[in-house]
Amino acid sequence: MRKPLLMLLIMIFGISGVMGCAGLRPTDDAGKPKITLERVEIASMFPWVDLPARTPLGLGFVLNVDNPSGYNIMLDNIKFTVSFEAAPGKYIEIATPTVYDRIYFPPKTTSQYRVVSIMDSGTIRLTLLVAQAPKVQELKLNAGDLIKDWYAKVGDFKFGIKVHEGMAVFSTEKGDVFVPFEGTFPKK
């Protein structure tokens, strides 16, 4: 009678352990995950159509996720801001991709994680005319000309694309771990 009960308890304990913890442990500073921008890719591109028509542009951001700890870590959500270089060394914010897909990274590995962001020339124009208008005015640029120029050059990455204000949140059994990151492509 006691043996089956003990077996049942061991099974419950095992299942609850797997469900509740999934191998996650707190990440101390030495084992804190690190994120770097590996590269930016064109995910999809369409022939330019003059504004106000919208021309889509899909960019893929390939991020290296380094887990130096001895435990699995779970990425809970990740967001970052994308800025395009408008003049040498001067960047303008274009979009803020956010992803909530949960994914595990094994211990002592560096994995690649891709975030694809679909933009379009109409949305970029609105951003340049509203939230980024002071910067555009400061640089004395015309929003429409600037966007057309970006579309002409983006295939060869002839201007810098910056990923900044990046924040990845990893869940552990001791709470959330926040990992800020940034990077620029092409690397100079």
Partner 1 sequence: MRIKMIIMCFILCFITSWAIGQEVKLGALQDTTGATSDVGKDEALGVREATQYYNDMGGINGKKIRLFQYDYGYRVPEAITTYKRFRDYDKVAMVLGWGTGDTEALSPTINADKMPYLSSSFSGHLCDPKKTPYNFVYGTDYSTNARGAITYWFEEVWKKDPKWKELRDKGAKPKFVCFMDTSSPYATAPIKAIKEQATILGFEIGPDNNIGLTALDTKSQVIAAKGFGANLVWHGNTTMSVSAAMKDAYALGLGADHIVNNWGFDENLPKLAGPAAEGAMGLLGCALFIDEYPGKKKVLDYAKKLNPGVPLENRLIRTVQGWVKVGMAVEAMKRADKAGKLNGPGIKEAFETFKDWPGLKEFGGQLVTLTPTDHRYSSIVRVARVIKGKPQTVAELDMRAKFPDRWAGWLGW
Instruction: Give contact residues for partner 1 (rule: CB under 8 A).
Output: 2, 5, 9, 12-13, 16-17, 19-21, 77, 79, 81, 94-96, 98, 100, 123-124, 126-127, 129-131, 133-134, 164-167, 173, 175-176, 178, 180, 182
Min dist CB 12 to partner 1, Å, is: 6
Contact 78, 62 (CB under 8 A): no
CB of 15 to partner 1, least distance (A): 9
Least CB distance from residue 9 to partner 1, whole Å? 5
* CA distance readout (Å), 61 to 66, 124, 178: 16, 18, 19
C-alpha to C-alpha distances, 148 to 30, 115, 125, nearest whole angstrom:
45, 24, 10
For partner 1, the closer of residues 109 and 145 by Cβ is 145
Residue among 109 and 129 whose Cβ is closer to partner 1: 129
CB of 154 to partner 1, least distance (A): 17
DSSP for residue 32: -
Sign of CA dihedral 135, 139, 140, 146: negative
- Cβ proximity to partner 1: between 19 and 30 the closer is 19
Closer residue to partner 1 in complex, CB, 134/156: 134
Judged by beta carbon, residue 26 or residue 180, the one nearer partner 1 is 180
CA Rg value for the chain: 22
What secondary structure letter does DSSP report for 69?
S
Closest CB to partner 1 among 105 and 181? 181
Least Å from the CB of residue 113 to partner 1: 19
Least Cα distance to 64 among 179, 176, 155, 161 occurs for: 179
Q: Give the shortest CB-157-to-partner 1 separation in angstroms.
A: 22
Enumerate residues 6+ apart whose C-beta is below 8 A from 172: 24, 25, 26, 27, 71, 73, 74
Q: 118 has which bridge partners?
A: 58
